[in-house]
Structure 1
Amino acid sequence: MWLALAGAILVEVCATLALRASDGFREKAWIAPIIVGYLLSFYLLYLSLGLGMPVGIAYGVWSACGVAMVAVLARFLFAEPLTPMMAFGIALIVGGVLTIEMSGVAH
């Protein structure tokens, strides 16, 4: 279940970076990887849910990891800004998801 979720996160991050690289779909070569990537990502998320992962945990981890990874990778791949305040925001997102996950495990 966690392996499927990790795959969903990695594929979604790649699809999102491809979306950025497509320059608003002006670069047509990126369209197929974007579509396939998002479809595969949702399929892998579906698998992790089907294997018993709670949707709140799965979606929280998926979105938080996606935000963090895209922000960091976009800094290096596209020279986009990553300010200390943005890094603090990412830390808050990750901390919030961890709080949700830990409280979900306790029940």
Structure 2
Amino acid sequence: MNSWLFLVIAICAEVVATSALKASEGFTKLVPSVIVVVGYGVAFYCLSIALRSIPVGIAYAIWAGVGIALVAAVGWVVYGQKLDAWAFLGIGLILSGVMVLNLLSKTGAH
């Protein structure tokens, strides 16, 4: 499989696991707790596969940036977390930084 696909799967698994972490209520609810453990396991396994050919700085910037934006979206939609204009601006800046790193930086071979 393509390393970029493994990175996408890792990000999705991490977002699911992080979202379930809130629902687990401190690991007191079984099903969300199992989703957390399995989700993070899948996420880290897929990230390790992606790191075979994607530089760690690039992969982690994408993982963190996209993960932050998606978890914030899940928090907003699923958990009713309020996001103000500053939150959207901050998330936009994070995503812009990821794009600059990937499109303009020469720090790692793609």
Shared fold per TM-score greater than 0.5: yes
Q: Provide runs of 4+ in structure 1 moved above 6 Å.
A: none
CA distance in 2, matches of 1:93, 1:48: 21
Structure 1, unaligned stretches of length 5 or more? none
Shift of 1:106: 8.2
Structure 2, unaligned stretches of length 5 or more? none
Offset from partner CA, 1:52-104 (integer Å, 9 cap, x none)? 10111100000100000010111110101111110100011111111111213
Q: What is the SS of the residue equivalent to 2:106? A: helix
Shift of 1:105: 7.0
Q: What is the SS of the residue equivalent to 1:104? A: coil
Number of residues of Structure 1 aligned to a counterpart in Structure 2: 106
Please name the residue that 1:47 is paired with.
49
Structure number having the greater helix percentage: 1
CA distance in 2, matches of 1:28, 1:55: 33
Question: Sequence identity of aligned pairs in percent?
Answer: 39
Q: What is the SS of the residue equivalent to 2:26? A: coil
CA distance in 2, matches of 1:74, 1:106: 32
State the Cα RMSD in Å: 1.5
The answer as to whether partners of 1:49 and 1:55 remain within 8 angstroms in 2 is: yes
Please name the residue that 1:56 is paired with.
57
Do residues 94 (structure 1) and 81 (structure 2) align? Answer: no
Alignment of 1:71-86 (within 5 A): 71-86=72-87
